[in-house]
């Protein structure tokens, strides 16, 4: 049953109110989620106006989510008879639709608070998400909480959040999460997965030398510190591949927070590094106030686009940059207006973007996103809900790459925020979600080694999926008791694969700069996956979809094993790369020709 069941006449709404009042008037609130202390980096600033409008998102329990995940694994397992039989939007929507009892309970609760469900601002296709515009004062009554305006000096932004929220006990079995509440993470605070590596950008390059092809049999040492398209094509064996399914195969890149991929810079990039691709264009999609200011390019967006393009044997594949540039309505003052007519964007990552993509009839076959945060800073209910949205996308045949992070096993003190103040390795989210492919980083060539900042470890939220049990067990046996107690040996382990992440040449405002980070490695792997999808589609086969069951089984030999390097953090030396899978580089870096043979 979808949210169309919420559409009632005014008479029905009025008649239901007395019954709802009896039901909820005496219901005792029970805490849904609470922080013991203000999340790191944030400080209380002031109380928001009671009239300030919030975009309140209610995520209902998905009635058949277990069936969806079962179907996801079936269509993603290369030895299952359903492999490649991805689900349609309608099939996914049916599996994630809330149970009629959940719809009835939430409907009654909303009516009790004088909210007509028919006035929802947004309803997801499966009906498991509903968005309402309501004032802070009403949200505080509904959630038995007090909101505050919080400030982050590092990102210079203000957000409206709460330290805890509660729901009647009955609703705990019907509602997964409500936002904005206790998740303080924002895209602006998470813009740390790439970084400029040289203080003085390179302004004059020899186009011929940088655009020239390099033999994959003799990748020059310079590619270990100055990474160009020719380097990556040689390193990962895509040099001679020419895409064929260019009308069908698409690669999607998520951009945020006024990070624009500049079209002029793209053409300059081609002229310097890929002369055969001159004129290739990028499709821009703006969401939720997203912008496309061609006069103000961004490092992150330019990096993602260039790295996704430069590994192609030919740039005929369609690349879409979806810009979800969350608005900050302020220049140093709290982002709200004290009236009941203007809503503020919640600045919460992923939800707007995922709901937009999932509401499309068709979706790109490959996605890459270069953002992340410490898992412990994301409320588990929020992380689980977002992770399940990635499962929906994977079930529909999309391969989803995420940077594993640039902090090794954890940055800073690595102290926990649960009141115990323990020092533990800190996994990253969404890399820790078992339904995405996390991409770590390498450096150098002949051979590549794991780079020191490559994020890797074990989730404390998500249990270890069966597809990686054998590989992870082998690693843990070799590790022995080292770091015992600092990580969760039973958690989802990451990264899954890796790629070069040091010295990438990127054009920004017409000048070439060197950029590093796993923000480089994720779109590089995504480009190669997109080429593999192109090959399969051109052969009349389904795209690869959710990659991990394939990577950890029949395709594991399609990667260059990285056997040295470590990812220190938290005052520790970190894990060490070795033969087979490891939490520094995963299975290693992709070899397109070997993978092409394995997935064909």
Tell me: the pLDDT tens digits for 179-192? 999 999 876 655 44
Q: What does the block give as tokens for 197?
A: 């590596």
Q: What does the block give as tokens for 24?
A: 């909820």
Residue ranges of domains in the chain: 3-62+97-184, 195-207+230-326+347-599
Low-confidence ranges of the chain (pLDDT < 70): 1-20, 187-196, 198-212, 255-262, 281-347
CA distance 441 to 452: 8
Q: Does 395 sit behind a cis peptide bond, omega within 30 degrees of 0 on the bond before it?
A: no
Q: Please say whether the beta carbons of 514 and 199 come within 8 A.
A: no
Nearest to 397 by CA among 360, 369, 431, 432: 360
* Sheet strands (E) in 61-125: 122-123
Q: Under 8 Å CB-to-CB from 333, ≥6 apart: which residues?
A: 158
CA distance 41 to 35: 14
pLDDT at residue 17, rounded to an integer: 59
pLDDT at residue 98, rounded to an integer: 98
pLDDT at residue 10, rounded to an integer: 36
pLDDT at residue 318, rounded to an integer: 46
Q: What does the block give as tokens for 359?
A: 């509401």
Give Cα 183 distance to the centre of its chain. Answer: 15
Q: Please say whether the beta carbons of 576 and 483 come within 8 A.
A: no
Q: Please say whether the beta carbons of 384 and 69 come within 8 A.
A: no
Q: What does the block give as tokens for 235?
A: 């390193």
Enumerate the active-site residues. 300, 304, 519
The partner residues of 458 in beta bridges, in order of sequence, read 493
CA distance 62 to 126: 9
Q: Does 582 show up as a binding residue in the annotation? A: yes
pLDDT at residue 257, rounded to an integer: 45
Q: How many other CB atoms sit within 10 Å of the CB of residue 30?
A: 13
Q: Does 276 show up as a binding residue in the annotation? A: no
pLDDT at residue 548, rounded to an integer: 98
Q: 42 — phi, psi (to 5°)?
A: -110, 150
Using CB atoms within 10 A of its CB, is residue 131 exposed (0-12), middle (13-18) or buried (19+)? buried
Q: What does the block give as tokens for 383?
A: 């992380």
CA distance 403 to 48: 35
DSSP summary character for residue 384: H
Task: List pLDDT tens digits, range 443-488.
Answer: 999 999 999 999 999 999 999 999 999 999 999 999 999 999 999 9
Q: Please say whether the beta carbons of 128 and 358 come within 8 A.
A: no
Give Cα 13 distance to the centre of its chain. Answer: 39
pLDDT at residue 285, rounded to an integer: 57
Q: Does 580 show up as a binding residue in the annotation? A: yes
Please give the model's pTM, rounded to 2 decimal places.
Answer: 0.89
CA distance 278 to 447: 32
CA distance 476 to 263: 46
Q: Does 521 sit behind a cis peptide bond, omega within 30 degrees of 0 on the bond before it?
A: no
Q: Compute CA distances 389 → 109, 208, 402, whole Å.
A: 25, 45, 14
Give Cα 157 distance to the centre of its chain. Answer: 21
Report domain 195-207+230-326+347-599's class.
alpha beta
Helices then strands (H, E): number in the chain?
15, 27
């Amino acid at each position: 049953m979808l949210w169309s069941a919420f559409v009632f006449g005014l008479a029905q709404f009025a008649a239901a109110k007395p019954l709802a009042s009896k039901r909820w008037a005496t219901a005792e609130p029970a805490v849904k989620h609470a922080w013991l202390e203000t999340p790191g980096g944030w400080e209380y600033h002031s109380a928001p106006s009671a009239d300030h409008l919030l975009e309140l998102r209610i995520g209902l329990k998905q009635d058949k989510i277990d069936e969806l995940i079962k179907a996801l694994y079936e269509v993603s397992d290369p030895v299952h008879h359903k492999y490649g039989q991805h689900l349609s939007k309608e099939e996914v929507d049916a599996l994630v639709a809330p149970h009629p009892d959940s719809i009835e309970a939430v409907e009654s609760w909303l009516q009790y608070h004088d909210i007509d469900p028919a006035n929802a601002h947004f309803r997801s296709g499966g009906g498991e998400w509903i968005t309402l515009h309501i004032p802070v004062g009403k949200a505080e009554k509904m959630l038995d909480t007090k909101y505050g305006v919080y400030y982050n000096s590092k990102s210079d932004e203000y957000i409206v959040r709460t330290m805890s929220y509660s729901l009647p006990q009955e609703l705990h079995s019907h509602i997964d999460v409500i936002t904005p509440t206790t998740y303080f993470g924002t895209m602006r605070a998470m813009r740390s997965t790439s970084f400029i590596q040289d203080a003085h950008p390179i302004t004059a390059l020899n186009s011929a030398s940088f655009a020239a092809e390099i033999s994959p049999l003799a990748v020059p040492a310079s590619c270990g510190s100055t990474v160009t398209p020719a380097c990556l094509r040689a390193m990962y064996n895509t040099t001679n591949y020419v895409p064929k399914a260019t009308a069908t195969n698409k690669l999607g890149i998520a951009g945020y927070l006024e990070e624009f991929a500049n079209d002029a810079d793209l053409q300059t990039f081609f002229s310097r590094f890929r002369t055969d691709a001159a004129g290739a264009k990028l499709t821009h999609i703006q969401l939720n106030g997203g912008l496309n200011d061609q006069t103000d390019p961004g490092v992150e967006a330019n990096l993602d686009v260039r790295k996704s393009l430069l590994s192609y044997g030919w740039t005929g594949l369609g690349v879409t940059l979806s810009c979800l540039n969350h608005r900050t309505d302020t220049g140093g003052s709290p982002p709200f207006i004290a009236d009941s007519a203007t809503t503020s964007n919640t600045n919460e990552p992923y939800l707007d973007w995922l709901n937009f993509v999932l509401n499309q009839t068709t979706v790109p076959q490959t996605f890459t996103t270069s953002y992340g945060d410490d898992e412990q800073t994301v409320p588990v209910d929020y992380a689980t809900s977002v992770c399940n949205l990635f499962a929906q996308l994977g079930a529909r045949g999309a391969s989803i790459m995420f940077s594993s992070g640039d902090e090794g096993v954890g940055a800073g003190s690595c102290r926990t925020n649960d009141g115990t103040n323990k020092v533990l390795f800190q996994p990253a989210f969404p890399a820790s979600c078992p339904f995405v492919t996390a991409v770590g980083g390498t450096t150098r060539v002949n051979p590549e080694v794991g780079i020191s900042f490559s994020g890797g470890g074990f989730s404390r939220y998500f249990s270890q999926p069966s597809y990686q049990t054998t590989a992870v067990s082998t690693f843990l046996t070799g590790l022995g008791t080292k770091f015992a107690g600092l990580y969760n040996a039973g958690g989802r382990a990451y990264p899954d694969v890796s790629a070069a992440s040091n010295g990438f040449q990127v054009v920004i405002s017409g000048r070439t700069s060197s950029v590093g980070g796993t923000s480089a490695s994720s779109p590089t792997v995504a480009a190669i996956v997109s080429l593999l999808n192109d090959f399969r589609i051109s052969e009349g086969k389904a795209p690869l979809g959710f990659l991990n069951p394939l990577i950890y089984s029949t395709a594991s030999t399609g990667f260059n094993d990285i056997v040295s390097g470590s990812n220190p953090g938290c005052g520790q030396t970190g894990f060490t790369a070795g033969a087979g899978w490891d939490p520094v580089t995963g299975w290693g870096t992709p070899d397109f020709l070997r993978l092409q043979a394995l997935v064909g």
